[in-house]
Amino acid sequence: MHSDSPLTELKGVGPALAERLEKLGLYRVDDLLFLLPLRYEDRTQLVRIGALQAGTRCLITGEVLLAETVFRGRRNMLVRIGDGSGQITLRFFHFSRQQQAQFQTGVHVVCFGEVRRGQSGYEMIHPEYRVTRENQNAVTSDSLTPVYPATEGVQQGRLRSLTDQALQRMHSLPPEELLPAELTKRLGMPSLADAISYLHRPPPDADTRQLVSGTHPCQQRLAFEELLAHYLSLRNLRALAATEDAIALTDGNEDVSAFIADLPFKLTGAQERVVSDILSDLAEPHPMMRLIQGDVGSGKTVVAAIACIKAIAGGVQAAIMAPTEILAEQHWRSFSDWFRPLGIEPVWLSGSQRVGSRRESLAAISGGNAKLVVGTHALFQEGVDFHRLGLVVIDEQHRFGVHQRMALRDKGISAEGHPHQLVMTATPIPRTLAMAAYADLDTSVIDELPPGRRPVSTVAVPEVRRAEVVERVRSACASGQQAYWVCPLIEESDVLDYQAAEASYQMLAKALPDLRIGLVHGRMRPAEKERGMKAFKDGLIQLLVATTVIEVGVDVPNASLMIIENAERMGLSQLHQLRGRVGRGVAQSHCVLLYKAPLGQVAKQRLAVLRDTNDGFVVAQRDLELRGPGELLGTKQTGLPDYRIANLVRDAELMPQVQITAAALQKNSAERATAIVRRWLGGASRYGKV
């Protein structure tokens, strides 16, 4: 196969078309082979006009009986055709004089389009058509017609023509079979060339239900190899890290033991197990690359603090990066409370910092006085120079992506080696997805909540029963408990977010005049937010009205009731995070999901999941099924490429075999492994050279 042949080698592809094709991710001839159709149309047989049904897409032929241009709000060209069994109208809104001249009475045409009900019977709007001679047989296709992903300026006919050329080239020089023969035989996989040919030009008797669902053996053959390529590329990153140097942090065991002993609570067994994993990694002369998964409230932050103490005791700097200022601020407060008694003052760095404060932080970081640095994306921007960065901690890993993680890691590369990396997520990743997405990391799971934590009881209530919910808040607060009332960000607008919270605050203040009510939202100054949250934590406020800024970071054991407005507009993971703000004390906690009827099917399913389970891994699995892996892992935000053919939800069952195959290839056939990565991801790793 001419894998590196440019598209301009194909007939009809000049510089302008090549540029448009790049928008579809097409750069080489081979890329066309992996641009699979979105769906298929059946043009293998003619349908009699008298047998047409509304809503179907089909191929018809007939004689022009009447053609006229009419003005009904806008200019229309109406062409009436018949075949003896019935008649149908072809309707065009955009047409030229040349097209008008084509539709002379008595002319025969072949059309393909969707049949709709019109005012005077069936019609097709803007069908594809071809004028034919009388008695000329209409040419039907010998395979289902593919419909490809489109981009402006590239018609379906052009894409079919180009894929025809690419397929001809492939048939003259078939692709090398890179998967082990015994594997393809055991799994009943077709050859790569056969799978590609079938998917681009399926025969008329193809099982279209399988093709639409993505479960056809030919699709699974390609999905397997694509998953394998991505997995191998991530394992290559892992193997590369194993050859790199890092500062072995062997000192500080006494400091760690003293810190743990002084904590006002006992670590859970799961926390102790994960701490042991981390301390073992840090003592190695190669960089740690570990992911910690833990549900809301499982205690990941204190585990990260122990890792930082170990690093600082070893004479290196530690940096903690969070995706939002709210979460980063919370970490800065928590770490300050823990570390100041030890004589360590955490340094803050964010994009919104005042110039003078930022200058002081940068000087402390570069001079080495900052032993622990906490911040946002600002940590890996230009102008930030660490003195001796030895440990990088990244929270909510899925919101960053690999590129950004590597950018912060690169800040610590020195003659002594690479910094250790610890990444954390409170969005539990289903095991099969973690295999595919985090194959470059070792994984530890904190699968145990602190003692005494009881599951939060969750109910969904229509907003017409708002008065009952308000009364429930009154009752909870009267009994000495505290409550949250959360208003979501309905649109991407701070103003709307602010107004929603303000409106709820005014409504509740009027309905509950005897309660001490506070308000916290994203447009407040950090000091104002801090005062509001502290007042709630100290019990000075009974009911906190807030936007989703409280999704992370606020720990108030006395808060036992969570009301979430417009719950139907929010994702499962976010709802689960918000619910995790209650249930941290001894009292039974409750979460009320207020929704606006009628509910859509997906919203119904989301709310049902939260009613049925408190298990973050179950919630994550359902979120994955409902939203797809891109949003769960953050690839949509970070710009990582999507899989072209594989689907991490649909094809999850392939992952165990992908892992086994990858290990065998890396051990016995490294050249084949490299070729698979190159075929699917190009010359470099999926994530670039790191």
Question: If 0-12 CB within 10 Å is exposed, 13-18 middle and 19+ buried, where does residue 29 land?
Answer: buried
Specify which residues 187 forms β-bridges with.
none
What pLDDT, on a 0 to 100 scale, did the predictor assign at position 399?
63
pLDDT averaged per 10 residues in sequence order, the chain, 690 residues: 75 91 88 88 89 91 93 89 95 90 93 91 92 73 84 84 94 91 92 95 88 90 94 88 91 93 92 96 94 85 96 96 81 91 93 90 95 90 90 78 71 89 80 76 86 86 94 96 84 51 90 94 78 87 86 74 91 85 87 91 90 86 69 41 76 90 93 91 47
In the DSSP assignment, the letter for residue 455 is P
* Burial per residue of 355-366, b for 16 or more beta-carbon CB atoms within 10 angstroms, e otherwise: eeebebbbebbe
What pLDDT, on a 0 to 100 scale, did the predictor assign at position 376?
87
The DSSP line for 506-563 is HHHHHH-TTS-EEEE-TTS-HHHHHHHHHHHHTTS-SEEEE-GGGGSS---TTEEEEE
Question: If 0-12 CB within 10 Å is exposed, 13-18 middle and 19+ buried, where does residue 86 land?
Answer: middle
d(CA 686, CA 690): 10
> Cα 562 to the chain's mean position, in Å?
27
CB atoms within 10 A of CB 609: 20
Q: Return the closest-CA partner of residue 649 out of 49, 214, 246.
A: 214
Instruction: Give 305's contacts (C-beta < 8 A, 6+ positions apart).
Output: 259, 334, 335, 338, 339
Specify which residues 81 forms β-bridges with.
64, 88
What pLDDT, on a 0 to 100 scale, did the predictor assign at position 238?
83
What pLDDT, on a 0 to 100 scale, did the predictor assign at position 585?
80
d(CA 316, CA 392): 11
Provide the angle, in degrees to the nearest 10, between the axes of the packed helices 217-243 and 670-681.
110
Rg (alpha carbons) of the chain, rounded to whole number: 31
Specify which residues 151 forms β-bridges with.
154
Kind of pairing between the strands at 457-462 and 590-595: parallel
- Cβ atoms of residues 488 and 565 within 8 Å: yes
- Cβ atoms of residues 520 and 546 within 8 Å: yes
How far, in Å, are 468, 475, 478, 511, 592 from residue 514 at the CA level? 17, 12, 10, 9, 22
What pLDDT, on a 0 to 100 scale, did the predictor assign at position 428?
67
Instruction: Give 400's contacts (C-beta < 8 A, 6+ positions apart).
Output: 321, 323, 394, 634, 638
* Burial per residue of 544-579, b for 16 or more beta-carbon CB atoms within 10 angstroms, e otherwise: bbbbbbbbbbbebebbbbbbbbbbbebebbbbbbbb
What are the tokens at 577?
């995070």
CB atoms within 10 A of CB 387: 15
Q: Which amino acid belongs to residue 320?
A: I
Ranges of H-type helices in 244-321: 253-262, 269-282, 300-313
Measured CA angle at 24 (ends 141, 679), to 5 deg: 90
Specify which residues 28 forms β-bridges with.
6
Reading phi first (left if > 0) and then psi (alpha if -120 to 50, else beta), residue 688 is in left
Specify which residues 445 forms β-bridges with.
293
Q: Which amino acid belongs to residue 683?
A: G
Structural domains in the chain, CATH included, are 7-37+148-213 (no CATH), 45-140 (2.40.50.140), 243-446 (3.40.50.300), 457-613 (3.40.50.300)
- Cβ atoms of residues 115 and 122 within 8 Å: yes
d(CA 135, CA 131): 12
- Cβ atoms of residues 146 and 35 within 8 Å: no
The position carrying tokens 């033991």 is 257
